[in-house]
A and B are shown apart, each in its own frame.
Chain A
Amino acid sequence: MSDRIDITLTINGERHDIRVEPRKTLADAIRDDCGWTGTHLGCEHGVCGACTVIVDGATVRSCLMFAVQADGASIRTVEGLAQGETLHPLQEAFIANHALQCGFCTPGFLMLAAGAIERNPRMSDAELIEVLSSNLCRCTGYENIVKAVRSAMNQMQA
């Protein structure tokens, strides 16, 4: 169990050479070993989606993946969304639509939405709600999250 393995994760363009136990989750590696604490853990059993990150273009729940499975991968987390001081359109839309309250679920929703829009920039309302049904939020009642993602998607098309 304690045999540690050397792996490399590239997170938001930054290379991290770390040594982890095989059982360490990707989420814990991102947060504890690499110091990117924007990714949150809400359930650690794959339902809430707070831990959603993008691994080599695919949106994944980082609590359900072992860090060693991501060896060599390029990972994007919420910290990588903004370009310097300029916020991503999704982040702008979350502010304008009051789509976050405590903000704990927000990184997961942002990465979920970012990945979905990249795959299909013209989601219908039904598709959008279907995608957003993957994650849990206890504060907002979802309405404003749906509005924010729709508005960012429309703006990104323009």
Chain B
Amino acid sequence: MTAEPRPAADPAPHTFGRPVARVEDDALLRGRARFVDDIHLPGLLEAAFVRSPHAHARIRSIDCEPARAAPGVVAVMTFDDLRDVLTSDRLVVAMPSPSYLLEVHRPILARHETVHVGEAIAVVIAASRYLAEDAAALVEVDYDPLPVVADCHAALAEGGARVHADLPHNVVAELDTAYGDVDAAFAGAAEVVEDRFWLHRGGSHSMECRGVVASLDPLEDRLTVWSSTQTPNVAQRLLCDLLARDSDAIRVVTPELGGGFGPKLVFYPEEAVVAASAVKLGRPVKWIEDRREHFVVTTQERDQHWEMAMALDAEGRVLGMRGSLLHDHGAYTARGTNVVFASAITVPLAYNVPAYRLASKLLLTNKVPVTPIRGAGQPQAAFVMERLLDQAARRLGLDRAEIRRRNLVQPEQMPCRKPMKLRGGTFVVLDSGDYPAAQRLVMEKAGWDDFPRRQAEARAQGRHIGLGLVNYVEGTGRGPFEPVRVRVAANGRIHVASSATAMGQGTKTMLAQVVAEQLGGAIENVVVTTGDTAAMTLGFGGFNSRQAVMAGSSAHAAAVKVRAKALEAAAHMLEARPDELTIVGTHIRMRGNNRTIGLGEVARALEGIAGYVLPGNLEPGLEATEQVIVHDMAFSNGSAVAEVEVDVETGHVQVLRYLLAHDCGQMINPMLVDGQVIGGIAHGIGNALFEWMGFDANAQPLTNNYGEYLLVTAPEMPSIELFHRESPSPLNTLGIKGVGESGVIPTPAVIASAVEDALQPFGVRISHAPLSPMDILDLIARADGA
């Protein structure tokens, strides 16, 4: 299924499926785009937060008086000072799940106990950020340090420290994911492989940190909040509850967003405090997170410890898998159980695994909370599955590609219902795709079969090169809906509004393409508004690679309706039949003669004239709002090959080539798809080799700057070759699947596979990421000694 075709003779240019230039670029390139920190308002005050230096401590007292006397200070407030404008002292944001054992909602400002370094305790509002920080240093907090839980294992220790002094234990939730007769599978296995895996914590590191500006308009009694959030509609609903205001009395706008990558979907204490301060003080207030704060208070992800076993028959067919997962949840529930949920269902997804049992524990630690980061639990799951397949291949003497071929879900199984459920309760159904074909394609392009020869040659010269192969599936298009309104104005401009939220992926371009395809093909005639609760009240925003699928589907449905109505009205006005008309650019044309009418004229006619009948007796207005509902997820898939060279003297790993055959269904804009995939690969290379968020035994963060926490830069990037397959999703009219996380999911796994292959002569086994040069040298030394 592809986009509903327009009549063959339709001369309007196509915009759907084409690599059209982005509507966002011009303002960004000229330095005219407005990010949250670019917002200046008359009388603007700036906030700085007093943050905990301890990972766990009782707060005995907070003395704000010295700070209040500092130059330029307007207010210094703890929660008690803000209490009169707030309805709650906590952010209750946890998504529903039957698995919780403990409720751990974040306080807006910590009052009696602090449970991670960086936690906000008080806010200083002053004439400038410089003055606010000066004063913040004068706030005296008397702490009584408490025992610290620095990692998952410590969290489980019998009689050990507790993350929250008044909670009975540290297990925030337990999740069992199981189907089939696992024990029988292991009892009858010809081969069992098992290992422990550890994937370490990292950050999202959007180049723009977070920020929020709030301003109360006393004339309209309306609070406007500009926040660097991926979910403004959700933020608005929370703020209405917290500040006890009508929904019309709070508008939340996401200005230009300098990257999101997950953590900006979370609602943070700073958003509540800045909004409450603006209400309380009656002055606009701004807070911009600095990078040091980003390292300690913006949510993180990835820290998981796995023990997993795989049972196989003698031909390498997987019979079953079982194991356990310990997930570092951080100190509070800032989102839910969703990362673990995604990890758990992703492990067996791309393959036929007849029996599976995973026992997961979500463990509190005295660290910043964990919520989804690009990939959201899926890269870890792919790592575990693919590492075990490599091990099984070696044990059985099979080629690594062959063992995968024997187990991959086959095209004739599609749609393939897995005996597992999504968090909303519907079954996981792989909707479409030819997984073995993707693997064949990438192997052929990579020269898989010829590689042993190249590897032997390189080894003869003392070079250690290796190749890895990994398959992955990405769950995209999280439902249930995302609304879009399409409206043609009387001047002929097409206005598109959606609760979808742009964070750099080209969401506005995507929506403009889908709409323009139906309404004349002139992208420049389309104006898109996203991320503004004044433009759309319902909706969620950007996460889970969902907006092209959900908002794209709604945009298409709305544009189709507007097109039909425009043609019907124009038919009446031109005395023609609708099927004789088409929209080209900004005009509706009659085929076979030169009669035309402007889209704007039709829109104006549909605005009506008092006392007169509307053209064709149609309903007023040339607009439509649609919210297409889809509960099932669209699953993108792909196969990755990486080639690496390992310097066995220094431990340095260079990724030489990276090839990805991927399938995200019908592409709306192939150029943007490539951009998403390559960006994701870069993030994945960081997770594989560089990004290590360090903490010491007291859960003190060790890596708080870009000298210590390494992001990938240009020279670390390999040459990347992408190959597209397009298996349309049957779940939506356009056949779209999401792509935002595809690049990151297979990458740590495929690099680990390639490094292990390169180090075959040493018998090194890779079971964690990231892999630093020191880790590599250590693994070689230990394997040598074994």
Cβ contacts under 8 Å, B130 to chain A: 21, 23-24
Answer whether residue B683 sits at the interface, using C-beta atoms and an 8 A cutoff.
yes
Return B325 CB to nearest CB of chain A, in Å. Answer: 28
The stretch that binds A, out of B502-510, B522-530, B608-616, is B502-510
Assess whether B207 is in contact with A38, with CB atoms less than 8 Å apart. no
Task: Give the CA-CA distance A126 to B125 in the complex, in Å.
Answer: 48
- Besides A104-B504, A106-B29, 11 more A-B contacts (Cβ < 8 Å) are A35-B40, A42-B209, A45-B706, A45-B707, A48-B207, A81-B29, A101-B259, A103-B29, A138-B207, A139-B679, A142-B712
Instruction: Indicate if the CB atoms of B291 and A95 lie closer than 8 Å.
Output: no
Query: Looking at the complex, which of A54-62, A66-74, A115-123, A129-137 is the stretch in contact with chain B?
Result: A129-137
CB-CB under 8 A for A102 and B678, given A44-B290, A77-B31, A143-B717: no
Asked whether B675 lies within 8 Å of A91 as measured between CB atoms, the reply is no
Quick one: given A45-B706, A47-B705, A95-B22, are A104 and B715 in contact (CB under 8 Å)? no
Question: Does residue A156 face the partner (Cβ distance < 8 Å to B)?
Answer: no
Are A95 and B720 within 8 A (Cβ)? no
The contact of B259 among A95, A102, A145, by CB within 8 Å, is A102
Are A138 and B205 neighbours in the complex by a CB distance under 8 Å?
A: yes
Contact B31 A38 (CB under 8 A): yes
Is A114 close to B, CB under 8 A? no
What's the interface size class on A, roughly?
Answer: 35 or more
User: Which of the listed residues B26, B71, B259 has the most CB atoms from chain A within 10 Å of its own CB?
Assistant: B259
The smallest beta-carbon distance between B73 and chain A, in angstroms, is: 13
Q: Which of B480-523 contact A (CB under 8 A)?
A: 503-506
Q: Is the CB of A103 within 8 A of B258?
A: yes
Chain B residues positioned under 8 Å from A75 (CB to CB): none
- Interface assignment of A5: CB less than 8 Å from any CB of chain B: no
Q: For B22, list chain A residues within 8 Å (CB).
A: 95, 98
Partner of A102, one of B208, B291, B674, B714: B208
Q: Pick the contact of B31: A21, A23, A78, A100 (CB < 8 A).
A: A78
For B715, list chain A residues within 8 Å (CB).
Answer: 129-130, 133
Tell me whether A138 and B206 are in contact in the complex, defined as CB-CB below 8 angstroms, given that A98-B674, A101-B505 are known contacts. yes
B203 to chain A, nearest CB (A): 10
State in angstroms the CA–CA spacing of A91 and B209 once bound together: 24
| Smallest CB-CB A-B distances: 3 pairs | A38-B31, A102-B504, A104-B258
The answer, yes or no, to whether B28 is at the interface (CB within 8 Å) is yes
**Which of B29, B31, B257, B706 sits near A136, CB closer than 8 Å?**
B706
Give, as a whole number of angstroms, the nearest-CB distance from A98 to chain B: 5
- What is the CB-to-nearest-CB distance from A46 to chain B, in angstroms, rounded to a whole number? 9
The contact sample of 28 A-B pairs, CB cut-off 8 A, is: A2-B71, A23-B130, A36-B31, A38-B30, A40-B258, A42-B258, A42-B291, A44-B291, A78-B31, A81-B29, A94-B29, A95-B22, A98-B674, A100-B29, A102-B208, A103-B256, A104-B206, A104-B504, A132-B714, A138-B206, A138-B207, A138-B261, A138-B711, A141-B678, A141-B681, A141-B743, A142-B714, A143-B717
Say yes or no for B453: interface residue by CB 8 A criterion: no
- Between B30, B40, B257, B714, the greatest number of chain A beta carbons within 10 A of the residue's beta carbon is seen for B714
Q: How many residues does chain B have at the interface if contact means C-beta atoms less than 8 Å apart?
A: 57
Q: Is A98's CB under 8 angstroms from B671's CB?
A: yes
Q: Is the CB of A95 within 8 A of B21?
A: yes
Cβ A106 vs Cβ B28 within 8 A: yes
The winner among A42, A82, A103, A110 for most chain B CB atoms within 10 A is A103
Chain A residue nearest in CB terms to B38: A37
**Minimum distance in angstroms from B229 CB to a CB of chain A:** 14
Is B24 interfacial (CB-CB < 8 Å)?
yes
Assess whether A104 is in contact with B208, with CB atoms less than 8 Å apart: yes
* B25 in contact with A100 (CB, 8 Å): yes
With CB as the reference atom, state the residue of chain B lying closest to A137. B207
| Residues of chain B with a CB closer than 8 A to A87's CB | 26, 29-30
**Quick one: which of B204, B506, B680, B706 contacts A48, CB cutoff 8 A?**
B706
The residue in chain A whose Cβ has the minimal distance to the Cβ of B28 is: A103
B714 engages A43 (CB within 8 Å): no
- Of residues 248 to 298 in B, which have CB atoms within 8 Å of A's CB atoms? 256-259, 261, 290-291
A39 contacts B by Cβ under 8 Å: yes
A9: CB under 8 A from chain B? no
Which chain B residues border A106 with CB–CB below 8 Å? 28-29
**Choice from B35, B40, B504 contacting A40 with Cβ under 8 Å:** B35
User: Residue A8 at the B interface, CB < 8 A?
Assistant: no
Is the pair B31, A79 in contact by a Cβ cutoff of 8 Å?
A: yes
Closest-by-CB residue of B relative to A87 is B29
| In the complex with contacts A24-B130, A78-B30, A101-B504 CB distance below 8 A | yes
List chain B residues, Cβ under 8 A from A132.
713-714
Q: Which residues of A contact B256 (CB under 8 A)?
A: 102-103
Instruction: Judge whether A26 is part of the interface by a CB distance below 8 angstroms.
Output: no
User: Bound complex: CA of A139 vs CA of B207, how far in Å?
Assistant: 9
Interchain CA distance A130-B31 in the complex, whole Å? 25
- Cβ-defined contact, A50 with B705, below 8 A: no
Check A98 against B672 for contact (C-beta < 8 Å).
Answer: yes
- Determine the chain B residues whose CB is within 8 A of the CB of A144 once the complex forms: 675, 678
Residues on A with beta carbons closer than 8 Å to the beta carbon of B648:
none
Which residue of chain B is the closest to A94 with respect to CB atoms?
Answer: B29
- Contact, CB under 8 Å: B29 / A110: yes
Contacts of A103 in B (CB 8 A): 24-25, 28-29, 33, 256, 258, 504
> Given A41-B37, A146-B714, A95–B25 Cβ distance below 8 Å?
yes
Which of these, B503, B504, B713, contacts A133 with CB under 8 Å? B713
Complex alpha-carbon distance, A82 and B682, angstroms: 30
> Are B25 and A94 interface neighbours, CB within 8 A?
yes
- Taking CB atoms, residues of chain A closer than 8 Å to B71 are 2
A140 at interface by CB-CB < 8 Å: yes
Q: In the complex, which residues of chain A have a beta carbon less than 8 angstroms from the beta carbon of B682?
A: 138, 140-142
> What does the 1/0 interface line of B180-212 toward A look like (CB < 8 Å)?
000000000000000000000000111111000
Most B C-beta atoms less than 10 A away, residue of A40, A50, A77: A40
Find A101's partner among B134, B675, B705, B714 (CB 8 Å cutoff). Answer: B675
